[in-house]
Amino acid sequence: MAENETLTFTGVAADGTPLTAVYLAQTAADAALGLIFAGDELPRIVHWGRPLADPKTLLAAYDALKPQRVSGALDETAWPSVLPTQAESWIGEPRVVLRRDGIELFPKFTVTDVQAEGVVAASLDAATADQYTDVAGHARTTGPVRVPGVSVTARDEEQGLGIEWRLELLPGGLARQKAIVTNLFGGDQPALEVGKIELGFPVPEIAGEILTTTGHHLRERSPQRQPLTVGRFEKPQLAGRPDFDASLLLTAGVPGFGFEHGEAYSVHVGWSGNSVLSAERLPYTQGVIGGGELLLGGEVTLAAQGEGESSYETPWLFGSFGDGLNEIAARFHAYVRSRHPRLFAKGRPVILNTWEAVYFQHDFDTLKALADKAAASGVERFVVDDGWFGSRRDDTSGLGDWQIAQEVWPDGPKSLKALADYVHGKDMQFGLWFEPEMVNPDSDVAREHPDWILAPTAGRLPMQGRSQQVLDLTNPEAFEYIFNAMDALVGELGIDYIKWDHNKLVTEAASRRSGRPAVHAQTLAVYEIFKGLKTGHPGLEIESCSSGGGRVDLGILEYADRIWASDCVDPVERADIQRYTSLLVPPAMMGEHVGASPAHSTQRATSQELRMAMAFFGHMGIEWNLLKEPEDALAKLAVWVAEFKKHRDWFAIDTCVHADANDPAVRLDGMVMPSRDAAIYRFTQLVTGQTYPAAPVRLPGLDPDRTYRVSPLDPSLDLTGLANGQSPLGWWNEDGVVMTGEALDRYGIRPPSLHPQQAVLLKAVAE
């Protein structure tokens, strides 16, 4: 069998219906999809899982799975296609919402063309077709790849509707689908309004439990579970961004599925605007999980053919499956890495961000001294946060005035340019904070261009947040102003890195220029600025920060090089924020910072060891005023930063794993080499545990047939002040202990008995 393939088979059902089966496989990723076309109907996904031993048996799936007619229902029992409508007896939540003159349409789509002849193209975002080699010697190449896929064209001629549906199976085993809706009528008919196109994947009957996350500012990605019952569960996001409460994934699986084991299926909408994730069952059907963009009334209206924009393209809906969440996450990580091959050719530079160090109190001498401390601690990227521009001495004014504040950074030897040059002279990269989509009403740009603010009417602004409103980037003048200001500053200061923030919920988002809701077009405009800046300044990196973790999705990660998972750097809170964010985002793209104690966001005091251990696997950074710290703390920080640098090239490509534990007081997370030659794990004791001392923890991801020497990582060797065990732990020494991968995964190893709010790192190295 080929490593990846698209196969087509034809046959006839027992009732005489002509059948076409399409089989997509990525053998190396252990993933396959199977579809059945019955006559001229839209296809149904009848297989989503491991590759089939005999793909041509897919043809039998029609007779094997088609439901019988039942009493009290329609002549055909609901069996959802990829875009179910009432014409095929779907009576659940409408998933295809189209209107003309405000009147609902009821489409029945007829397939007119199927393209499944081998492969379709999946374009990787890259300005040039460069090639990079990672630490394992694997080439990472930019540019297009070819993957198994199918493209289906269907029409409803009477109602003037065209649909193109695409499905691709990507190299890591991630599936993605999208639809393109076209208005087929001419100008003698009303325009076509798109209300919603919600795509989905069917899940097996045994998938009886769903996992999502909820949250708020400073507590993002908090897990919640409930049964997948008859009815609909949905997570809508209508704040103009995914927001803190967004569930990165909606996962359905066997009850009790965990990180290590349990058949499970996940979906994610790759979009940075309004969206929904859903799980739905009818009394007649198994579950369907999916989602799509949420459009406001009049937001997307398709003109007649030849008279303007006549098509609407949905975001990609991504699907992943696995035996446990670790495998599901690995498929997403493989995809994200493929979008940023240069980033994953080596480890990420250590960052110091000035926000919690100085807040708005900017001056050259202080930040120069902080840069010196940063460089001495091993920092490689120095980022100046909010407060460098306009009248921005606090968060109430100046936002949107992207000119360097002369009162804080006067031209000359103490200018912002002088600081950037000084930072570069210390062999560090220079980064700068922007919030391009927002504006303070108390700003020059708002006073001069009030029509640039998104607002429901000319006389009323939306409710403010953080003294801010949203700039209308769908207005070409506003777009040009923002792009040109950022572009000029990147060139003038030699900016290597932008921290792109987004602090206000986008509510009542109407453009005064178009008179229509603007979230869809605003999101596309943001993507265009990202693309334009990165194209014009090769090597520039941009972080997606949105009040912390308010915009984390595969839409923004097409362009962003890093996400800020949360404004909370308290390591106790971060234990689960980072764990559940890593279901979608590789740790190397997650900002994980060592902060102060007590933490600014929670006032919780924690040890320096816990704070550094919790930042160790991700894109390590520092959010801490090093000018106020004693030398012993700085020396300890330098030791941990140096240890991180020894491993970060591998962390960029390692498999991220999490262990399941009955005790809610403990966490075990790890990074395993692709070859499984070695791994580093973090054991965290959040609070006092059910078992005292802590029960053995399993080390997932190792080769069961190999032996490993398990020992403490050097900075964690000394347990002084961290542990409360009354006798030595036999293996907690430089020699460690040798065990098989199977034993470590099945029975585990006893961690040190730690005080609450402590963590240690250990390594497993193949003998």
Q: Which two tokens stand for residue 599?
A: 């933490």
Can you say how many angstroms the Cα of residue 167 is from the centroid of all Cα atoms in its chain?
20
**252 has which bridge partners?**
210, 265
Length of the chain measured in residues: 767
Give residue-wise pLDDT tens across range 316-346. Answer: 999 999 999 999 999 999 999 999 999 999 9
Q: What is the pLDDT of residue 126?
A: 43
Domain covering 352-650: architecture: Alpha-Beta Barrel (3.20)
Per-residue pLDDT band for 127 (boundaries 50, 70, 90) equals: very low
590-595 and 619-623 as β-strands: parallel, antiparallel, unpaired? parallel
Q: What is the mean pLDDT of residues 637-666?
A: 98
Q: Which residues lie below 8 Å from residue 480, measured CB to CB, with a gap of 6+?
A: none
Q: Which residues lie below 8 Å from residue 291, measured CB to CB, with a gap of 6+?
A: 198, 199, 200, 250, 267, 268, 269, 275, 276, 277, 278, 317
Q: What is the pLDDT of residue 308?
A: 82
CB–CB of 399/439 below 8 Å? yes
Give residue-wise pLDDT tens across range 346-399. Answer: 999 999 999 999 999 999 999 999 999 999 999 999 999 999 999 999 999 999
CB–CB of 223/580 below 8 Å? yes
Q: What torsion do the CA atoms of 435, 440, 446, 447 make, to the nearest 10 degrees?
A: -150
CA distance 371 to 413: 16
Q: Which two tokens stand for residue 697?
A: 């923890």
CA distance 691 to 630: 37
Q: Which two tokens stand for residue 193?
A: 């309004």
724-760 exposure pattern, b = at least 16 Cβ within 10 A, e = fewer = eeeeebebbeeebeebebebbbeebbbbbbbeebbbb
Q: Is the pLDDT of residue 123 over 90?
A: no
Q: Is the pLDDT of residue 118 over 80?
A: no
3-state DSSP assignment of residue 535: helix
The values of phi and psi at residue 452, to 5°, are -85, 0
Q: Is the pLDDT of residue 130 over 70?
A: no
Q: What is the pLDDT of residue 131?
A: 78
CA distance 174 to 557: 16
Domain covering 75-123+139-340: architecture: Distorted Sandwich (2.70)
CA distance 254 to 662: 18
Q: Tell me, yes or no, if the two domains 352-650 and 657-766 fold the same way.
A: no
CA distance 125 to 685: 41
Q: What is the mean pLDDT of residues 508-533?
A: 98
CB–CB of 741/708 below 8 Å? yes
Give residue-wise pLDDT tens across range 168-183. Answer: 999 999 999 999 999 9
Give residue-wise pLDDT tens across range 245-263. Answer: 999 999 999 999 999 999 9
Give residue-wise pLDDT tens across range 89-100. Answer: 999 999 999 999
The answer to whether the Cα torsion of 68, 69, 74, 75 is positive or negative is positive
CA distance 445 to 251: 44
Q: What is the pLDDT of residue 2?
A: 72
Instruction: Give the strands of the sheet with 288-293, arranged side by side.
Output: 199-202, 288-293, 275-281, 231-237
- The CA-atom distances, in angstroms, between 241 and each of 112, 215, 431, 519, 627 are 36, 14, 24, 9, 36
Extended strands (E) in 573-695: 590-595, 619-623, 655-658, 666-672, 678-685
Mean pLDDT score across all residues of the chain: 96
Q: Is the pLDDT of residue 512 over 80?
A: yes
3-state DSSP assignment of residue 56: helix
CB–CB of 30/328 below 8 Å? no
Q: Is the pLDDT of residue 117 over 80?
A: no
Superfamily in which the 657-766 domain is placed by CATH? Golgi alpha-mannosidase II (2.60.40.1180)
Q: Which residues lie below 8 Å from residue 718, measured CB to CB, with a gap of 6+?
A: none
Give residue-wise pLDDT tens across range 10-36. Answer: 999 999 999 999 999 999 999 999 999
Parse the chain into domains and list their residue ranges.
Answer: 75-123+139-340, 352-650, 657-766
